[in-house]
Amino acid sequence: MIEFDLNGRKLALDNDVVRELRERAQAGAGSSSTLNDLAVLLTRALAEQKPVTLRRAESRAFERLLEPSD
């Protein structure tokens, strides 16, 4: 489990979920520097297994990735 701080809101996610979110962020990284930054942060979070605090833009992108895709 990795804990995230999203603008003061705490969220803990299983490593498998974080890996999936990282893949989705990497897929969009070519067209969005925020998604690229988020992909790097998620990679680091998986490697270090430490809590992660996201800045506002990264937090919004992270929340969008959490939304179910159609």
Show me where the domains of the chain are located. 2-66
Whole-number pLDDT of residue 67: 86
What pLDDT sits at residue 39? Answer: 94
Query: Residue 15's pLDDT is what?
Result: 96
H/E segment holding residue 56: helix 56-66
pTM of the model: 0.86
- What is the structure's pLDDT at 36? 92
Residue 29: which residues within 8 A CB-CB, separation 6 or more?
Answer: 35, 36, 39
Angstrom distances, CA of residue 5 to CA of 12, 15, 28: 9, 16, 22
Q: What is the pLDDT, as a whole number, of residue 28?
A: 86
Model pLDDT, residue 52: 92
- The whole-number pLDDT of residue 70 equals 59
Under-50 pLDDT residues of the chain: none
